Structure 1
Amino acid sequence: MTRPDGTDAATIAVTGATGRLGGRVARRLASLGVPQRLLVRSPDRAPRLPATDVVQAGFADTDEVRRALDGVRTVLMVSAEETPGRVDLHRAFVDAAASAGIAHLVYISFYGAAPDATFTLARDHWATEQHIRGTAMAYTFLRDNLYADFLPLMVGADDVLRGPAGRGRVAAVALDDIADAATAVLTDPDPHTGTTYELTGPQALTLDEVAVTLSRSTGRTIRYRAESLDEAYRSRQSYGAPAWQVDAWVSTYTAIANGELDTVTDAVPRLTGHAATALAALLPPSPAD
């Protein structure tokens, strides 16, 4: 958008605004009256918000991205769709952002991102973080644990939550808490320069405990069944997904089993000023209530 004097008023750009997380952040910024620019692949799917421009720009088209980021100081980079070439897409976007003169890049990463992380897609996030570190841009990394909102979707039609997670625990975090944290950083980025935040929920639950919590909410009897690795691969290969995707699905559970997602942090309350949201608070009330 443009001010009456002809200068650009858009200071924050948001990618992924047609998705669950980017859309939440965009709506929060709009409610605060913050001018923003939404970079999306499909403008017709973007939310219509006040003080907001919508610009078509895919990560792979570096010229589009540079033009879309012209006049922007701070950008929220929500990771691209999961594909074998995702790191290349991320590098292209990061390079275009640096070329456009972005001062501060806030990247949505994954909890415990590392080159040897059990969860295969966390390795993509580590590679992206390393590429961002190699630019002149200031940066903040928001490393999200598993989304608590998605835990109910992991339950099968037979009311069984199955996977090779053993007795491991997961400190799953609510999407709304991540969006609140991202909004706090975007609206005042300088104090967060060079900082990595591991965002978690308020407790680390076993999948048995997740199943009990879901049962209380739904009124159904949901149970967890610990699969072996062989069982996990066989059951997921039946969907006809490519090998890399099956590896990602299975490694979600093995990362839990290995204790890589179980540490609870205070990053959400420190950034947002409110307590992190427990899984039970995300769910509809029990039919018996």
Structure 2
Amino acid sequence: MGFIVTTGATGRLGGRVAALLAAAGIEQRLVSRQADRVAPLAGATAVSAEYGDPGAVRRALEGASTVLFVSASESADRLDRHRTFVDAARDAGVTHLVYISFYGAAPDATFTLARDHWVTEQHIRASGLPFTFLRDNLYADFLPGMAGEDGVIRGPAGQGRVAAVAQDDIAEAAAAVLLDPGAHEGATYDLTGPQALTLDEVAAALTRATGRTITYHPETVEEAYESRRGYNAPGWQVAAWVSTYEAIAAGELEGVSDGIPTLTGHPATTFEELLAKGQG
């Protein structure tokens, strides 16, 4: 049996998974665009590889049994880089690919990037690689960052709800799959928090946790595009930002699943618990 490859090793999620595997005494190869930034871990070696470089990816994955495929950073060419990575994993002889996808991934998802995750899933299926898909809801850890400097969360989410999930829970779930991939071959797991909250409820929880007054202002879609104009971001990125809130309004992120307790053996972390740990 070969070693495990953990991609995105310098990122918030990949780094968490790598640390859990190291603590379990697992041999792993840590892949990042900048190997010199990877934190040293017992039993781990770091290598550099860009997802869009098929030769570098093949070399990074050669000899691996199971690979954690953390999706690439958001960019206009992310789908191309995903396809390149999957093809290189197949060519390298990888025996199981665990892909970090998104909750509700579908060709007609309201959240634009969830459509990209769907296309990536289909490419993995077509590759013939044994796989497991972990479809994460929004990261609960990122919800505090939705509030502006004035303490207001703005977006066209209406009174929709989101079952945001803690990154620590996702990391534990991913590690469980990586440690016993055969038991999860072909499976798709929805990973959510234990409750679905409106953004008013998110704001109230943040107010209680921080002592700072946080409120939610439900923008119209037109207001949302206008309020983000000053970031001078490309159109696809602004659409992704706005459509996150639209997906909440449409009820596409409100489902609560048993994926976290099934894979980790413990209840999913509540938003309040996350804030109490100081991780939000």
Q: For structure 1, which segment, 104-113 or 51-60, has the greater mean C-alpha deviation from structure 2 after superposition? A: 51-60
* 1:107 matches 2:103: no
Choose which of 21, 24, 42 in structure 2 pairs with 1:29: 21
1:3 matched to which residue of 2?
Answer: none
1:184 matched to which residue of 2?
Answer: 176
1:225 matched to which residue of 2?
Answer: 217
1:131 matched to which residue of 2?
Answer: 123
Q: What pairs with 1:191-210 in structure 2 (closer than 5 Å)?
A: 191-210=183-202
Shift of 1:52: 0.4
* 1:169 matches 2:161: yes
List per-residue Cα deviations over 1:52-75 (Å, max 9, x = no partner).
011111111111111111110100
Instruction: Tell me how far apart the structure 2 counterparts of residues 200 and 284 of structure 1 sit (CA, whole Å).
Output: 19
SS in structure 1 opposite 2:127? coil
Larger radius of gyration: 1
List per-residue Cα deviations over 1:24-47 (Å, max 9, x = no partner).
000000000000001111011111
* 1:39 matches 2:31: yes
Instruction: Tell me how far apart the structure 2 counterparts of residues 160 and 75 of structure 1 sit (CA, whole Å).
Output: 40
Structure 1 residue runs of 5 or longer lacking an equivalent are 1-8
SS in structure 2 opposite 1:283? helix
* 1:273 matches 2:265: yes
Shift of 1:284: 3.5
Q: What pairs with 1:42-57 in structure 2 (closer than 5 Å)?
A: 42-57=34-49
1:142 matched to which residue of 2?
Answer: 134
Shift of 1:256: 0.1
Shift of 1:11: 1.3
- What letter matches 1:30 in structure 2? A
Moved over 4 A (4+): none
* 1:15 matches 2:4: no
Give the count of matched residue pairs: 278
Shift of 1:135: 1.3
- What letter matches 2:16 in structure 1? R
Choose which of 229, 242, 245 in structure 2 pairs with 1:237: 229
SS in structure 1 opposite 2:62? coil
Shift of 1:238: 1.1
Shift of 1:285: 7.3
Structure 2 residue runs of 5 or longer lacking an equivalent are none
Shift of 1:221: 1.4
1:5 matched to which residue of 2?
Answer: none
2:144 matched to which residue of 1?
Answer: 152
Contact 1:217 1:285 in 2 (8 A): no
Instruction: Tell me how far apart the structure 2 counterparts of residues 60 and 220 of structure 1 sit (CA, whole Å).
Output: 43
Choose which of 71, 74, 88 in structure 1 pairs with 2:63: 71
Instruction: Tell me how far apart the structure 1 counterparts of residues 268 and 217 of structure 2 sit (CA, whole Å).
Output: 28
List per-residue Cα deviations over 1:211-253 (Å, max 9, x = no partner).
0000000011111110011110000111110111000000000
Instruction: Tell me how far apart the structure 1 counterparts of residues 78 and 18 of structure 2 sit (CA, whole Å).
Output: 23
SS in structure 1 opposite 2:231? coil
SS in structure 2 opposite 1:194? coil
- What letter matches 1:207 in structure 2? L
Instruction: Tell me how far apart the structure 2 counterparts of residues 38 and 204 of structure 1 sit (CA, whole Å).
Output: 34
CA RMSD of aligned residues (A): 1.1
SS in structure 1 opposite 2:165? coil
Instruction: Tell me how far apart the structure 2 counterparts of residues 114 and 16 of structure 1 sit (CA, whole Å).
Output: 24
From the superposition, tell whether residues 102 and 137 of structure 1 become closer, same or farther in structure 2 (CA, over 3 Å).
same
* 1:259 matches 2:254: no
Choose which of 66, 84, 99 in structure 2 pairs with 1:92: 84
SS in structure 2 opposite 1:172? coil
Instruction: Tell me how far apart the structure 2 counterparts of residues 13 and 222 of structure 1 sit (CA, whole Å).
Output: 41
